[in-house]
Structure 1
Amino acid sequence: MNPALNAVRAGFSRGWTEFKNTFSNPGEVAGGYLLTPAVFVGVSLFTSDSSFGTEGTSTGAYLMASGVTMLLILLGTITIAQVVGSEREDGTLLRARVVPDGMVGYTVAKTWYLLTMSLMSLLFMLVPGMVLIDGFAVQGAAGAVTLAWVCVLALLALAPVGAVVGAVLSNPRTGVGMLMLPVMGLTGISGVLFPMTLMPGWLQAVAQFFPVYWVGLGVRSAVLPPAQAAAELAGSWQLPQVAGVLALWAVVGFAAAQWVLRRMTRKTSGSRVQQAREKAMQRAY
């Protein structure tokens, strides 16, 4: 039987097991996956009666769309960086290297785990948002399809970034915190929290190079009224460009992450893993 196919199957099985095991720690679920949806729903409720621009979109609805985008960004970068960094320290990555096509299985497992956890988190945000926030709703069947493929492509485009960061940081706990700075900075210039047209032209050009802008644009197209497209840079949702940019980042990022993870594990020995584990235990205590 094809070893690569076996690795993919094992990866799906492992990812599903990790998803189920998450529920054994209710505190982690509440703090890690419910907090962000709860915050955005709460803030949006206080601003749902106001609107901005000539399109009449409620501020609360725009903030909810921002919340969905932020959730995807945090899951795809910070969460993956934490997981990969921790599993580099405890030797999981090193063990994956010695198994035939083990890195393929490892990547599939983390991707499947990310997608399932993201689906759960998104439902916690979308369902109460559509019930409580005026103007925030999936725009019919076409909007539901758009939201689905945007979310999947967003996670596939962002997860390799988190994996690379988790693989190269010497201390995943403090390093991941430092990752928040560029992530939040990029989010701030990408039209996630307020319309992109308010930014200077050169910042608009910089933001369009990265996937965050396109994730936000795709999410807004699925959950905000069609009239809101007039407030975007091109006056439309640019969905073909959204798909193309995110797919390109996903393909290039996956290849780059595989190379970085393999290179990192080649330089890692059992003694180094043991030293890293001892340091991690010292930091924990």
Structure 2
Amino acid sequence: MTTTSNPVNAAVRAGLQRGWIEFRTIATSAADLLGWLWMPIVALVVMYTLRGTTVPGTTFSLGAQAVPGILAMTVVFTGMMGLAMALTSEREDGTLLRAKATPHGVLGYLTGKVVGQATLTVAALLVVLVPSAFLFDGLRLGAVGAWLTLVWVLALGLVATLPIGAVLGSLAPRPQSLGFVMLLITGLVMASGVFYPVTAFPAWLQWIAQVFPLYWLGLGMRSALLPDALAVAEIGESWRHLETAAVLGAWAVLGFVVAPMVLGRMARRATGSTVREPAT
């Protein structure tokens, strides 16, 4: 038993170390940081220009109401899509093939990618939260309960979305193939109440939004950061914590069932012939 488990434990430890190194590499590169942070920063600037506009039926700033949605959008684009793009690119440049050549190397590689992308996502969220504390009034950033809710929603949201990113990265034949997926997700962001209460949309669009984890991520983060009175702008005039946990949990379970099968298939198909020739 010890002989079997030690190589696995070593691969996981190596993956954790690799993930931290990858995060530090990005964090110390201004160009890389800008590449990951420009979208939430632009969204934050747009919402700041709307701080004088109020949520329909309330006196609360529409800009402040959108901050939790921007956080949810950051989880999806930085975490989920970031992992998808990394897997697709590194499958082509031979990184995955090199990992496959070592015992439990794929496990260590995937552990590193997940840890690195999750850490980067948390850092990106702080980049949004810190200035929001000064730019917008009414956010519950001083309440302990708000942070506890934010932590469990974020943790469950990452567990629900990162496997989706792994699946997308495994299925995409080329990095460019993810462009269409990005376009679809951008449309989903618009329909999920990130910039405007979803209750203002047609009923059929509200149902579509509720199928995907992005809406529930945004709802859970709104429940953490916004006053309870703002629940009146939500579906059912409630934060629906139980439903949030159930839907995100269901996506997490689905992801943990599907992702290993798809990733295993991708790793088995990784050969020297699938590695992209370097440009000359």
TM-score (structure 1 length as normaliser): 0.89
Which residue of structure 2 lines up, in the alignment, with residue 112 of structure 1? 115
Q: Distance in 1 between matches of 2:209 and 2:34?
A: 32
State the AA in 2 paired with 1:163: A
| SS, match of residue 81 in structure 1 | helix
Please, which of 8, 16, 37 is the counterpart of residue 20 of structure 2? Answer: 16
Q: Distance in 2 between matches of 1:253 and 1:259?
A: 10
Task: Give deviations 1:32-91, integer Å, cap 9, x for gaps.
Answer: 22x233223322222212212223221110222222121111113321111111110122
State the AA in 2 paired with 1:223: L
Task: Give deviations 1:215-238, integer Å, cap 9, x for gaps.
Answer: 110111111111111111121111
Q: Is the 2:83–2:114 Cα contact (8 Å) retained in structure 1? A: no
Gaps of 5+ in 1: none
Please, which of 115, 126, 132 is the counterpart of residue 123 of structure 1? Answer: 126
Which residue of structure 2 lines up, in the alignment, with residue 78 of structure 1? 81
Which residue of structure 2 lines up, in the alignment, with residue 27 of structure 1? 31
Q: Distance in 1 between matches of 2:18 and 2:253?
A: 23
The alignment's C-alpha RMSD in Å is: 1.9
State the AA in 2 paired with 1:222: A
Q: Is the 2:96–2:270 Cα contact (8 Å) retained in structure 1? A: no
Q: Distance in 2 between matches of 1:224 and 1:141?
A: 13
Please, which of 56, 60, 65 is the counterpart of residue 62 of structure 1? Answer: 65
Q: Distance in 2 between matches of 1:211 and 1:233?
A: 15
Q: Distance in 1 between matches of 2:240 and 2:95?
A: 41
Q: Is the 1:60–1:134 Cα contact (8 Å) retained in structure 2? A: no
Q: Is the 1:66–1:193 Cα contact (8 Å) retained in structure 2? A: yes
Q: Distance in 1 between matches of 2:272 and 2:90?
A: 13
Please, which of 167, 190, 213 is the counterpart of residue 211 of structure 1? Answer: 213
Please, which of 6, 19, 27 is the counterpart of residue 10 of structure 2? Answer: 6
Q: Distance in 1 between matches of 2:270 and 2:114?
A: 23
Aligned pairs, number: 276
Following TM superposition, where does structure 1 have runs of at least 4 consecutive aligned residues deviating by more than 4 angstroms?
Answer: none
State the AA in 2 paired with 1:92: T
Q: Is the 2:36–2:78 Cα contact (8 Å) retained in structure 1? A: no
Q: Where do residues 1-285 of structure 1 align in structure 2 (5 Å cutoff)? A: 1=2, 2=5, 3-33=7-37, 35-138=38-141, 140-172=143-175, 174-273=176-275, 276=276, 278=277, 281-282=278-279
Q: Distance in 1 between matches of 2:266 and 2:118?
A: 25
- 76-85 or 135-144: bigger deviation: 135-144
State the AA in 2 paired with 1:143: A
Q: Distance in 2 between matches of 1:29 and 1:196?
A: 31
Question: How big is the shift at 1:271?
Answer: 2.7
State the AA in 2 paired with 1:4: V
Q: Is the 1:217–1:242 Cα contact (8 Å) retained in structure 2? A: yes
Task: Give deviations 1:253-279, integer Å, cap 9, x for gaps.
Answer: 133122111101212212322xx2x1x
Q: Distance in 1 between matches of 2:45 and 2:53?
A: 15
Q: Distance in 2 between matches of 1:99 and 1:247?
A: 33
State the AA in 1 paired with 2:199: T
Q: Distance in 2 between matches of 1:238 and 1:139?
A: 22
The share of aligned pairs that are identical, in percent, is 40
| SS, match of residue 116 in structure 2 | helix
Gaps of 5+ in 2: none
